Structure 1
Amino acid sequence: MEAHVWHLARSLSHEGHQVTLFAAAESDLGSQPGPEVRPLYRSAAAARRRPLPGAVPESDHLAYLDVMQELVDDGGDGFDVIHNHCLNPVPLLLAPGLRTPMLTTLHTPPVPRLEAAIGTTGGAGSAFAAVSGYTAESWRHVVTDRMHVVPNGVEPSRWPAGPGGDYLVWSGRVTPEKGTHLAVAAAALTGRHLVIAGPIGNAEYFHEAVEPLLSERVRYAGHLDQRRLASLVGGAAAALVTPRWDEPYCLVAAEAATCGTPVVAFGRGGIPEVIDAQSGRLVAPDDVAGMAAAVPEAITLSRDAVRHSAVMRCSARAMVSRYLEIYGNLIDERTSANHDWLLRTSPRTRAPLASDEHLRTSA
């Protein structure tokens, strides 16, 4: 999700839009000119080296309250549109008080606190987008009005075509739900070396289920910066994607394919919307043997064709274009509402956008 917001904020800024990002103080968006970062509030208790129990979640909660109260109090007059990516419910709960249109992107399957917030407000004050059709459908019981579908985008220039190689690669957060150990098992069946890269999101899982499997044939490269990760992924024969949950989208699959590296993935969640027959192979969830068997066929795919398929469907440019279309529509609706409530077209009956999906069904 952080990578998505990074790409979106930079891309909008590079296209000439003035972007303000409310985020952690240490957030780095790279070279200037670019998006302005406005640090979120951090309480002294949460900033301690060893914060008290509950201090960090409480501080996060207060940070969102602080931002939303500012936007409600001044009407958000300094902004044309607010784009919410938070997993915290506060923005949704306070959205009805905004005069500035807000769009909320749903990056995850339904989670109780966001479901409760939408249920409390009826979704008032915010339009919604989901990162895949699968994710949109999973929220359908809560978001009953029209839902936009905007796949996450990858910037091709930052994920350049790679030469390929002999080894396999696995990237992402090292956590049980990402199934890193299954990639190790599949790689062993192929007889190829495997390189693992990504932050250790669950230390217990890494030490108990992954670290004992490391060897001359299985290497953990660590948490790499973006450039080194792109080089590693682009130099692989194929990328293995092994989620044990239903991925809402799967950015690592899009990144690998953009490098021209074929992807072999468990076909669950939103992954079938990211990987097609031109960019890789899908196998049944948790089917380690099937994944290993699919690798030889996947690596025969043209790397140019793999990259072309990914760029056409998963580029940051396509994502930004879709979001700009939605922003413009929301601004037009709010302007119309402010000036002429009687003559404006209802959002429920407007002409649909290309990104609209999942209309509410009648009983």
Structure 2
Amino acid sequence: MTGSLRVALLGSSNFPIAEPYAGGMEAHIGQLSRALTERGHSVTLFAAEGSSLDVADDLLSVARLELSDISKADITTPALAVSEHHAYLSVMMQLAGELSDTFDVIHNHSLHYLPIAMSRTVRTPMLTTLHTPPFAWLESAVALSGSTGVEFAAVSEHAARQWFPVTGPVNVVANGISLERWPEGQGGDGAVWSGRLVPEKGPHLAIDAARAAGFSLTLAGPASNTAYFEAEVAPRLGGDVTYAGHLRQRELATLVGTSAVALATPVWEEPYGLVVAEALACGTPVAAFDRGGIPEILDPTSGRLARPDSVEDLARAMIEARTLSRHDARARAESACSERRMVDQYLSLYESMMSGAAL
């Protein structure tokens, strides 16, 4: 790839790209934006108010709609759904109109259907990264999006297989992380779990497994589901299990790097598993449920897989994982999880799309 590209990255209209990140999606977009900028490309972000210009050159503002009193009284239409619809409708109309010659490529990471459904209206080549399994609204948009300027990339082979009945074959670009921002740590005695504290991430199972295996455990991340946190996580805290709160990236890297083993406990088909890559970069072996895209990241030198949802087997995996070499875990991150590899692949896709659009 030669020359500087002008890239528009579309994220969530509800969550800013700023630390501490609301979740893995926001962390991923922030990393990609920073990496593209560091390579000399110009990045403009579309994300919620409060997004940081530390990782991009400019921001596209999220349009807000003040509904009439009659519309507000309509109980059939949730206010949040209308707000999201208006935000994405507005930005796609801008990209098809007054911003039509502003960017070389649009890279869509949002989970909203409108960017995909309206992709035919923009002249700029658009790549959509598929971060989740298929769901109805996104499937509908994909079914109507056919255009030579539209491409899709899944974050794992597992995700690509899930999308195959909908999209056919798609590119696979595994998520990557900055190995410099996640340095190898010296390890420690306890275990760590990081991520959004929500039911589908299973932190309550991590707590039970750590106690069964005789490990202390520190949890870190946003308590995104208050009811779940109060019912399943808070009662399990105390003694050998602590909650460190929602940490910034550098603080989290220190915590992970000073742990003996990291846990990943999705109770759904996790498409990738960014926390696994982060732990390996810090040299911390991983014990994880054998689900989704996680088996594509771990190998026998860097972690152990456990039967999904089995606390007993996860405890076994923890005990085994802690004996693994921290240097081997780091080496696995360097070979399979690097930001450089991810960005190289995305730039290659951008170039291919731009060449195709020019024909």
TM-score (norm 1): 0.87
> Partners of 2:337 and 2:206 in 1: how far apart?
24
> Partners of 2:303 and 2:253 in 1: how far apart?
18
1:189 counterpart residue number: 212
SS in structure 1 at match of 2:45: strand
SS in structure 2 at match of 1:20: strand
1:251 counterpart residue number: 274
Q: Is 1:276 the counterpart of 2:332 in the alignment?
A: no
> Partners of 2:115 and 2:237 in 1: how far apart?
43
- Contact 2:154 2:160 survives alignment (8 Å): yes
The CA deviation at 1:61 is: 1.1
1:221 counterpart residue number: 244
Change in Cα spacing, 1:190 to 1:35, as seen in structure 2 (3 Å) is same
1:208 counterpart residue number: 231
The one-letter amino acid paired with 1:95 is S
1:173 counterpart residue number: 196
Equivalent pairs counted in the alignment come to 329
> Partners of 1:288 and 1:242 in 2: how far apart?
10
* Unmatched segments (≥5 aa) in structure 1: 337-363
- Contact 1:10 1:35 survives alignment (8 Å): no
> Partners of 1:100 and 1:240 in 2: how far apart?
41
The CA deviation at 1:40 is: 1.4
Percent of matched pairs sharing the same residue: 50
Q: Pick the aligned partner of 1:93 from 117, 120, 125.
A: 117
Change in Cα spacing, 1:123 to 1:186, as seen in structure 2 (3 Å) is farther
> Partners of 1:288 and 1:85 in 2: how far apart?
33
Q: How does 1:321-340 map to 2 (within 5 A)?
A: 321-336=344-359
SS in structure 1 at match of 2:292: coil
The one-letter amino acid paired with 1:238 is V
- Contact 2:148 2:357 survives alignment (8 Å): no
Further displaced range: 70-79 or 125-134: 70-79
The CA deviation at 1:133 is: 0.5
2:29 counterpart residue number: 5
- Contact 1:104 1:129 survives alignment (8 Å): yes
The CA deviation at 1:120 is: 2.8
SS in structure 1 at match of 2:324: coil
Query: What do the CA deviations read for 1:124-151 (whole angstroms, capped 9, x no partner)?
Result: 642100000000110111102x410000
Query: What do the CA deviations read for 1:252-290 (whole angstroms, capped 9, x no partner)?
Result: 111011100000000110000111112111111012111
- Contact 1:9 1:35 survives alignment (8 Å): no
1:58 counterpart residue number: 82
2:181 counterpart residue number: 158
Q: How does 1:6-25 map to 2 (within 5 A)?
A: 6-25=30-49
Query: What do the CA deviations read for 1:50-89 (whole angstroms, capped 9, x no partner)?
Result: x998223211211111111111124721111110111111
- Contact 2:262 2:285 survives alignment (8 Å): yes
Q: Pick the aligned partner of 1:313 from 336, 346, 353.
A: 336
Further displaced range: 131-140 or 115-124: 115-124
Q: Pick the aligned partner of 1:106 from 126, 130, 141.
A: 130
Q: Pick the aligned partner of 1:67 from 73, 91, 94.
A: 91
Q: Pick the aligned partner of 1:40 from 62, 70, 80.
A: 62
Q: CA-atom RMSD, angstroms?
A: 1.8
> Partners of 2:144 and 2:317 in 1: how far apart?
47
The one-letter amino acid paired with 1:201 is S
Further displaced range: 220-229 or 53-62: 53-62
> Partners of 1:19 and 1:75 in 2: how far apart?
14
The CA deviation at 1:122 is: 4.0
SS in structure 1 at match of 2:144: helix
- Contact 2:149 2:356 survives alignment (8 Å): no
The CA deviation at 1:234 is: 0.7
> Partners of 2:171 and 2:152 in 1: how far apart?
6
Change in Cα spacing, 1:88 to 1:109, as seen in structure 2 (3 Å) is same
The one-letter amino acid paired with 1:252 is V
- Contact 1:68 1:91 survives alignment (8 Å): yes
The one-letter amino acid paired with 2:160 is A
Q: How does 1:340-359 map to 2 (within 5 A)?
A: none
* Unmatched segments (≥5 aa) in structure 2: 1-24
1:302 counterpart residue number: 325
SS in structure 2 at match of 1:121: coil
Query: What do the CA deviations read for 1:138-183 (whole angstroms, capped 9, x no partner)?
Result: 0111102x41000011111111111110110011111111111110
The one-letter amino acid paired with 1:80 is D
The CA deviation at 1:293 is: 1.2
SS in structure 2 at match of 1:16: coil
1:342 counterpart residue number: none
> Partners of 1:55 and 1:274 in 2: how far apart?
39
